[in-house]
Amino acid sequence: MQQAEMKTSSLGQTEIEHWLVSYVAQLRGVKQEKIDVTATFDRFGLDSASAVALSGDLMEWLQCDVEPSVIYDHPTIRRLASHLVTVRAAGARG
């Protein structure tokens, strides 16, 4: 997957948002333009199993811990990306 080859060290809000948009679009079988980064994930029909799969894929991509319940605490693409930026920054410092 092209995204997976992206260098993870330089990832910021924009890159993570873009990855999430493309992920959700592919999952729902819709065009990326249709994905609103401020809409809540339940609008895209993500159930708990998709939430778990997403967190697993994020862990693999970002090489950091991501809770399976993360989209319920950070329920839009924008907020989730922001959270992930913070988590990665904390991880890099640690």
Catalog residues that contact another protein under the rule CB under 8 A. 48-49, 51-53, 55-56, 65, 67-69, 72
Question: Which residue number, 25 or 59, has a Cβ lying nearer to another protein?
Answer: 59
Enumerate residues 6+ apart whose C-beta is below 8 A from 86: none
- What is the spatial distance between Cα 13 and Cα 79, in angstroms, rounded to a whole number? 9
Question: Which residue number, 18 or 83, has a Cβ lying nearer to another protein?
Answer: 83
At its nearest, how many Å lie between another protein and the CB of residue 66?
A: 11
At its nearest, how many Å lie between another protein and the CB of residue 76?
A: 16
At its nearest, how many Å lie between another protein and the CB of residue 78?
A: 20
| Contact indicator for 66, 84 with CB cutoff of 8 Å | yes
**CA distances in angstroms from 27 to 45, 64, 85, listed in the order given:** 10, 22, 23
